[in-house]
Amino acid sequence: MSETEQYDVLIVGAGHAGAQAAIVLRQRGYAGSIALLGDEPSLPYERPPLSKEYLSGEKPFERMLLRPATFWADRSITLLPGRTVGEVAPQAHRVTTADGTGVAYGHLVWATGGSPRRLTCAGHDLAGVHGVRTRADVDRMIAELPLVERVVVIGGGYIGLEAAAVLTRLGKHVTVLEAQDRVLARVAGEPLSRFCEAEHRAHGVDLRTGTAASCIEAADGAACGVRLADGEILPCQMVIVGIGIVPAVALLLAAGAGGGPEASNGVTVDAYCRTTLPDIFAIGDCAAHANAFADGRVIRLESVQNANDQATIVAKTLTGAPEHYHAVPWFWSNQYDLKLQTVGLSAGYDATVLRGDPADRSFSLVYLKAGRVIALDCVNRVRDYVQGRALVTGSARIDPVLLADTAVELKALGLAAVG
Ligand code: FAD
């Protein structure tokens, strides 16, 4: 094996978390060598537009770059694109890339995200069946779109719904299949799910809940339809699968790191984002951590916020100012002209308060647990989102009647919070 490279900090995965770790290290004056190694061929870019403005053609790839090429060169951050790590040797402080090259490190930051979870049914690997994770995934979809009239989206989560909204606007006939009894069931309360379902239907989407695909039908080696459990076949030329991700941690687990199914299939990290392996951190979508906004439960978050904030925690530790991860989670999604914004984590809520009327297409859903505000989902209501953050961070206990009163601003309620 050749061993030609060595870096003080080697970051594996050049997505949101990896790029941010390199950026913040330099911002904080870190003087050692830094390499950002990733298997995608391009400069680090924003992933959220992939299912939104990039798919719709409204945002060119150049405007999705996290930083221009000169930024990395000016800060002596070595980019190693198009390279895949295939093995981690923690005791030797070395990784090996797919071409057999060894890369030695002082500290390793594992920021590999995950890959789209695949269907297991017959036809899952046919041409025309797509996951949505990388620029290459979406470029393949865009190339096929001129010959596509009908699309079936499997999975009514954020990515599936965003893709459905874009493709409907592009004039495609879109069917969304959600196995559970409502869309967004994993992340949102029922009023938001029902609102989103109604919006999609109003835009012409054939949205079916409680409906699972049993296989993908093939013609000439490509998908030509989706068969449902009751035997109905939905003809289509494209299938989009949005059923979550599988975190890319197999190599770290094989190297002895803690994690696996009990850690939401991620790699376990402590409050400083350290794995159980020496000098190896993990951040972003792949990192299972005890989250204060989930009552300390070990979870993975799949958001730009979490990627950026965990990257900052690692940079602080490596520059001698260690700090616990304690960032309030936030997330957004755009569908049609709707701006959905979430702050906090709603899992485990025992009550909700509707603030505003969904019929106005501007409302917030406030989640309470034991009388305290734990999260808000805001639809076209930026002010609630901004002001609600303080209620979440302070676990504010507020009379639900007041919370529901849109005449009262949330920031005023924060002051009135008791206990
Ligand atoms: P990633 O950004 O996925 O980066 C990981 C990188 O590591 C990838 O380039 C991967 O190819 C690479 N890699 C993996 N294994 C290896 C290996 N062995 N060797 C080398 N490289 C490797 N979040 C929001 O907050 N709001 C949104 O609106 C939103 N929309 C989204 C829309 C889409 C279509 C997608 C896919 C995600 C969206 N997200 C959104 C989630 C957000 O993009 C992710 O949470 C974020 O990208 C996570 O950053 P990461 O660095 O952990 O992983």
Closest C-alpha among 387, 265, 389 to residue 327: 389
Looking at ligand 1, which atom is closest to the CA of residue 132?
34
Positive or negative CA dihedral for 30, 65, 95, 267? Answer: positive
- Rounded to whole angstroms, the Cα distance separating 270 from 313 reads 11
Output the average pLDDT for the chain: 96
Residue with tokens 């949330």: 410
What confidence score (pLDDT) does residue 415 get?
61
Residue with tokens 């899992």: 347
How far apart are the CA of 245 and the centre of ligand 1, in A?
10
User: To which H or E segment does residue 411 belong?
Assistant: helix 410-416
User: To which H or E segment does residue 372 belong?
Assistant: strand 372-379
86-105: average pLDDT: 97
- With a pLDDT cut of 90, the percent of the chain lying above it is 95
How far apart are the CA of 33 and the centre of ligand 1, in A?
24
What confidence score (pLDDT) does residue 242 get?
97
Decide if pLDDT at 419 tops 80. no
Decide if pLDDT at 1 tops 60. no
Write the pLDDT tens digit of every residue in 107-136: 999 999 999 999 999 999 999 999 999 999
How far apart are the CA of 212 and the centre of ligand 1, in A?
26
Kindly report the number of other CB atoms within 10 A of residue 292's CB atom: 17
pLDDT band at 293 (very low <50, low <70, confident <90, very high): very high
Write the pLDDT tens digit of every residue in 337-363: 999 999 999 999 999 999 999 999 999
How far apart are the CA of 356 and the centre of ligand 1, in A?
34
Closest C-alpha among 365, 337, 361, 362 to residue 351: 365
Which of 131-144 are b and which e, b meaning 16 or more Cβ less than 10 Å from the residue's Cβ?
A: bbbbbebbeebeeb
Token duo for residue 341: 């914004």
Decide if pLDDT at 416 tops 90. no
Residue with tokens 């007041």: 402
Decide if pLDDT at 4 tops 80. no
Q: How far does Cα 244 stand from its chain's mean position?
A: 9
Strands 85-89, 94-97: pairing kind: antiparallel
Looking at ligand 1, which atom is closest to the CA of residue 251?
18
- Rounded to whole angstroms, the Cα distance separating 137 from 133 reads 6
Closest C-alpha among 345, 343, 363 to residue 353: 363
Write the pLDDT tens digit of every residue in 55-69: 999 999 999 999 999
Closest C-alpha among 350, 418, 401, 344 to residue 375: 344
pLDDT band at 206 (very low <50, low <70, confident <90, very high): very high
- Hey, what amino acid is at 40? E
Looking at ligand 1, which atom is closest to the CA of residue 47?
43
Token duo for residue 176: 């969304």
What confidence score (pLDDT) does residue 263 get?
84
Pocket test for ligand 1, best of 47, 245, 269, 286 (most atoms within 8 A of CB): 47
SS3 state of residue 360: helix
Beta bridge partners of 97: 85
Looking at ligand 1, which atom is closest to the CA of residue 286?
52
Residues with CB under 6 A from ligand 1: 12-18, 37-40, 47-48, 50-51, 84-85, 111-113, 132-133, 159, 248, 284-285, 302-305, 307, 331-333
Beta bridge partners of 366: 353, 376
- Rounded to whole angstroms, the Cα distance separating 63 from 11 reads 24
User: To which H or E segment does residue 18 belong?
Assistant: helix 16-27
Token duo for residue 201: 């239907």
